[in-house]
Amino acid sequence: MAFRTGGAYHCLSYGGIDAWSYLKFILKQQRLKYCLISSWIISPADADAIYDRVKAGDIAKIDMYVGDIFKGGYRGAYDKTLETVALCDGRVAIFHNHAKVIVGFGEKFDFAMEMSTNLNINLRLEQTTIFIDHDLAVWYKEYFDEIHAFNRDFDNWEPYKVE
């Protein structure tokens, strides 16, 4: 399935699919110049997979926005997330986050995903909408760029410049 500009794709799943599954589907179609991931938590398996995709060059730059429980409750995944952003001068922002959003600027299209699922498998009904919309992607990115994180590790971070 090829996405078309201006399209909105609504998905429902009852377990077995998390936010990373949708992003993998997009990465089969194109490499990303930039990706923003916002999730309350990230599973260790997804953290490893994201690291592998950044290291392989499928995602050139990534910023991660996570909930305040992530660092203490998911230490291995948190450490892998730090390794991931170190590959590309991204940042990990910890704050009172419960938003599940993924934004990407790609070689073929830009997108914004809004979802109920975190980056972990959850055997509950979950909904995701994928918007192939440059302006919406920019809107989300600009909002997240302004977030002031609890962690001070990335005070010198520079936001990705949208072309």
Q: Is residue 160 included in any domain, yes or no?
A: no
**Parent domain of 140:** 8-145
Reported pTM: 0.95
Averaged pLDDT for residues 55-76 = 94
Q: Is residue 105 included in any domain, yes or no?
A: yes
What lies within 8 Å, CB to CB, of 35 at 6+ separation is 23, 59, 61, 62, 63, 102, 103, 104, 105
What pLDDT sits at residue 119?
Answer: 86
What pLDDT sits at residue 99?
Answer: 96
Q: Is residue 61 included in any domain, yes or no?
A: yes
In the structure encoding, which two tokens stand for residue 62, read together? Answer: 């990534």
CB atoms within 10 A of CB 67: 20
Q: Is residue 161 included in any domain, yes or no?
A: no
pLDDT over 80 at 95, yes or no: yes
C-alpha 115/C-alpha 31 separation (Å) is: 21
What pLDDT sits at residue 14?
Answer: 84
CATH of the domain at 134: 3.30.870.10
DSSP type of residue 40: S
Q: Is residue 153 included in any domain, yes or no?
A: no
C-alpha 65/C-alpha 98 separation (Å) is: 9
Q: What burial letters (b/e) apply to 106-123, b meaning 16+ CB within 10 Å? A: beebbbbbbbebbbbbbe
Confidence category of residue 1, pLDDT binned at 50, 70, 90: confident
What lies within 8 Å, CB to CB, of 143 at 6+ separation is none
Q: Is residue 156 included in any domain, yes or no?
A: no
- Please state whether beta strands 32-39 and 8-14 pair in parallel, antiparallel, or not at all (unpaired): unpaired
Contact (Cβ atoms closer than 8 angstroms) between residue 9 and residue 87: no
What pLDDT sits at residue 123?
Answer: 83
Q: Is residue 66 included in any domain, yes or no?
A: yes
Residue-wise pLDDT tens digits, 2-50: 899 999 999 998 877 888 899 999 999 999 999 999 999 999 999 999 9
Q: Is residue 1 included in any domain, yes or no?
A: no
What pLDDT sits at residue 148?
Answer: 93
What pLDDT sits at residue 15?
Answer: 73
Q: Into how many domains does the chain fold? A: 1
Residue-wise pLDDT tens digits, 98-147: 999 999 999 999 999 999 988 888 788 999 999 999 999 999 999 999 99
